Amino acid sequence: RFGKEEWLQPYTEDVLAGLPDEGVKKLLATCPGFTADCLETVDEVGHEGGEIFSAAGGELLHLAPCLNAHPRWLDAMTSIVRSEASGWHAGEPS
């Protein structure tokens, strides 16, 4: 969290700490809001989140990698950009 504004809840760490009490012992975590792995995904969710989950009784938290440079992601993004850019003329100011 950053800044003084209230963040969306429930907070990830609270959810992770409560899941083992609900019978969840193994968890695959994803970060769909991120297209590339970064400090927040790898360290905060993967490492710190794994420690929180484990301390609460969880056995395994596996962090699925973000899309990063996956070929299907790059193909999809290329298609989206080309579609959005259709009709633009090279060299003309925007």
Give the pLDDT confidence score for residue 6 in this predicted structure: 86
> What is the tally of structural domains in the chain?
1
pLDDT digits (tens, 9 = 90+) for 5-29: 888 899 999 999 999 999 999 999 9
In a domain, 23, yes or no: yes
Give the pLDDT confidence score for residue 81 in this predicted structure: 93
In a domain, 2, yes or no: no
Tell me which H or E stretch contains 28.
strand 26-29
In a domain, 71, yes or no: yes
Nearest alpha carbon to residue 26 among 62, 63, 60, 65: 60
pLDDT digits (tens, 9 = 90+) for 22-63: 999 999 999 999 999 999 999 999 999 999 999 999 999 999
Kindly report whether the peptide bond that precedes residue 10 is cis, defined as omega within 30 degrees of 0: yes
pLDDT at position 88 over 90? no
**Cα–Cα distance for residue pair 49/29, rounded to 1 Å:** 9
Buried (b) or exposed (e) across 7-23, using 16+ Cβ within 10 A? eeeeebbebbbebbeee
Range of the domain at 36: 12-85
